[in-house]
A and B are shown apart, each in its own frame.
Chain A
Amino acid sequence: MTPAPIVIDVDRLTRRYGAKIVVDQLTLQVPQSAVFGFLGPNGSGKTTLIRMMCGVLRPSSGRARVLDCDVVADPERVKRSIGYMSQKFSLYADLSVEENMDFYGRIYDVPRARLRQRKRELLDLVGMHEFQRQLAGTLSGGWKQRLALACALIHEPRMLFLDEPTAGIDPVARRDLWDLLFELSGRGVTLFVTTHYMDEAERCTHVGYIYLGRLIVCGRPEELKQMPEITPAGTRREELRCTQPSAALPKLRGLPGVRDVTLFGDALHLLIDDSLTEKALLEHLHGVCAHASVQPMDPSLEDVFVTLSRREAARDHAA
């Protein structure tokens, strides 16, 4: 099987606002049909990067090719083949669902007959036939996002950029939206999605993590979890289940050999030295919580991102 062609090729892309560097020498490649999850704290440069890749913001330096178009030299050419859903709801609140779709259809010069067909397909896809005549401003959050997706897809883009599409919508709508995204990916559309949700990141085929404008890690989730710096030599990750994990947490934090403890619901995720045995660990918790059990586990993506951004912060601090 030949590897999928690269559709996003970003090379040392930089954007400054005055003295502030928002995106710093960022290099990134995304293959076709990927669902690329892009994560990072607020203000770390996610939206700025997307805007540069969509050709609406000029980079300060660096190169970016999207679908074989140079978006720095000729930002207009790529626009016919990409779709963009911004963070904020940005459709016309005083136009109806159908009018919004018609408008974007006309903007992209979709022929009239094709537009009619496309509207039907997309209303099917997002399940919005009954809202067709409703004003966009009166839709609830999840429906607004679906409409935004439908509008972004009206011209059958090969590449879709979504900036926090699921921020502030309910879990069911969130799940539905992701199902839609995977359906699109199955049809060969490449998706570039920013998010704050780890469960969404886990579903992506590729993820990247940006910290203060720098891309600190990028790859397939399972590869990232295997990175040696996530679970350094001589340590291992364990999951500890017990009746009162919150009581166990401070107790474990002080224990020699425990590198990191994080509470996950009714379990604790530990990074401990190999020298610390399960038996010693459980003995230490005796009297604090009952029914404790330990089992080895793989790191989660959250572990990966937390570990790497701590390391990056420590490096910044040292420098």
Chain B
Amino acid sequence: MNGFLAILLKECSHIRRQPSTLFFTFLIPIFEMLIFGYAIDTSVEHTPTIVFDACRSRESREMIDALANSRSFRIVGEAMTHHEYEHAVISGEAKVAVAIPPDFSQRLLAQREAPIQVLIDGSDSQVATAALHSSVLLGLNQSIARAKVYAEAQQAAVARDPAGRAALPIDIRPRLLYNPDLESAHFFVPGLIGIIMQVVTLFLTSLAIVREREAGTLEQLFVTPVGRLGLMLGKLVPYAALGFFETLVVLTVMVFVFQVPIRGDLLLLLPLSILFLLTALGMGLLISTIAHTQLEALQFAFMIMLPSFLLSGFVFPRESMPEPIYWLGFAIPVTYFLEILRGIILRAADFNDLVPHVRGLVICCVVVISLSVSRFRKQLD
């Protein structure tokens, strides 16, 4: 522990002299929160749609109105020819094109199957999937409405509601828990806390050590009697404190700006945050034992950040990933912390509910810290 205080004080002077560190620590996370909280909305709505109504009957207009009222589609224009209809998707003017054939109403009235062609631009799979589901659902609803009218006319029905009207035989009654308004912010913002904590600690600690290696001051330190532990902790503690303080800021912004309340126990969340913070600091230390220049350190940090972003379940659900990638997610500490954050903040989960994730995080922490501490030597190589 020899020299801990000296290093700690010096590190604080560095932070004070270099306002960009504080800028990086406090402003960037706020930007990230605004971007993920407000700008990014994963629910797909108002997909630009063009219609080609070759029938021009009451039935076809009803169909187009149903389409326009569904929230999923936004009608951006009407094609007059078949060529225009196809070209709208090629040019990107519309993502969806709906063609109603000239004999549409005739077929309906003759009780024959009446096809409607829907072209969907599949290049954005998320938009395309949503459009596909919405269009199929729209067809089903319209069909059922017609079937009900027909059933009433025949005095027969598959099922009836308490009022005696024709109804669906199976009635699904979903109830949305925790996030009834399906706000993206409720999903993203708690996860973002983990990501932000990792970014700050990973980059700041690895850079703080590698900067000294690059400047030659680390060699100078090795010649002094400073202890290995004192050197490591002296470098890590200021950034740990910064990271923890930032966690509090981000939590406050989450609760008061994004209106995402913490349903669970804050006194459980904070110690588990510290556990994660230690893991992230350990990763920063590990990078600093490998990288020789600040550029290398940045590259390593990005190498860790990318899977943390994409494979941890922060943006994309892990359950839909291919098996090997899904398993790879378990090697990423932030995966466990995201479960913990969402569990405590959104679902009021208690410690017992989170045991598997806490166990995973503890294992990551122990592995990362012991690896980096054993690699951190007071010697040049």
Contacts and interface: CB of A to CB of B under 8 A. Distances in A.
Interface stretch (A25-33, A82-90, A289-297): A82-90
B226 interface: yes
A58 interface: yes
Contact of A58 (B7, B219, B379): B379
Contact of B3 (A75, A94, A106): A106
Nearest to B216: A90
A56 B225 contact: no
B378 A56 contact: yes
B107 interface: no
Contact of A56 (B3, B6, B222): B222
B259 to A, nearest CB: 41
Given A90-B220, A107-B6, A95 B17 contact: yes
A35 interface: no
A79 B379 CA distance: 13
A94 B379 contact: no
Given A56-B378, A86-B216, A99-B13, A94 B18 contact: yes
Contacts, number: 71
Interface in A51-82: 51, 54-58, 75-76, 79-80, 82
Nearest to B3: A107
Nearest to A135: B17
B379 A109 contact: no
Contacts of B7: 107
Interface string B354-381: 0000000000000000000000001110
A1 B222 CA distance: 38
Contacts of B223: 54-56, 79, 82-84
Nearest to B10: A103
Interface in A235-257: none
B17 A56 contact: no
A91 interface: yes
Contacts of B225: 76, 79-80, 107-109
B17 A107 contact: no
Interface in B198-246: 215-217, 219-226
A83 B224 CA distance: 8
A108 B7 CA distance: 12
Interface in B5-23: 5-7, 9-10, 13-14, 17-18
Chain A CB within 10 Å, residue with most, of B18, B217, B221 = B217
Nearest to A105: B6
Given A56-B378, A95-B17, A106 B6 contact: yes
A90 B219 CA distance: 8
A87 to B, nearest CB: 8
A80 to B, nearest CB: 5
A104 B216 contact: no
B232 to A, nearest CB: 14
A90 B217 contact: yes
A197 interface: no
A69 to B, nearest CB: 12
Nearest to B14: A94
A55 B221 CA distance: 12
B10 A92 contact: yes
B2 interface: yes
Contacts of A99: 10, 13
Contacts of A56: 219, 222-223, 378-380
B214 to A, nearest CB: 10
Given A86-B219, A103-B6, A108 B17 contact: no
A107 B224 contact: yes
Contacts of B17: 94-95
B220 A86 contact: yes
B217 A95 contact: no
B237 to A, nearest CB: 15
A60 to B, nearest CB: 12
Contacts of B3: 106-107
A298 B3 CA distance: 52
A54 B379 CA distance: 10
Contacts of A94: 13-14, 17-18
A186 to B, nearest CB: 24
Interface in A105-127: 106-109
Contacts of A103: 6, 9-10
A169 to B, nearest CB: 17
Contact of B220 (A76, A91, A95): A91
Question: Can you list the 6 inter-chain pairs with the closest CB atoms, starting with the nearest?
Answer: A106-B6, A90-B216, A84-B223, A56-B222, A90-B220, A94-B17
Interface of A: 51, 54-58, 75-76, 79-80, 82-84, 86, 88-95, 99, 103-104, 106-109
27 contacts: A55-B223, A56-B223, A58-B379, A75-B379, A79-B223, A79-B224, A79-B225, A82-B223, A83-B223, A84-B220, A86-B216, A88-B216, A90-B220, A92-B14, A92-B215, A93-B215, A94-B14, A94-B17, A94-B18, A95-B10, A95-B13, A95-B17, A106-B6, A107-B3, A107-B221, A107-B226, A109-B2
Interface of B: 2-3, 5-7, 9-10, 13-14, 17-18, 215-217, 219-226, 378-380
Given A57-B380, A79-B223, A91-B220, 11 more contacts: A56-B222, A56-B223, A58-B379, A86-B216, A90-B219, A92-B14, A94-B18, A103-B9, A107-B3, A107-B6, A109-B2
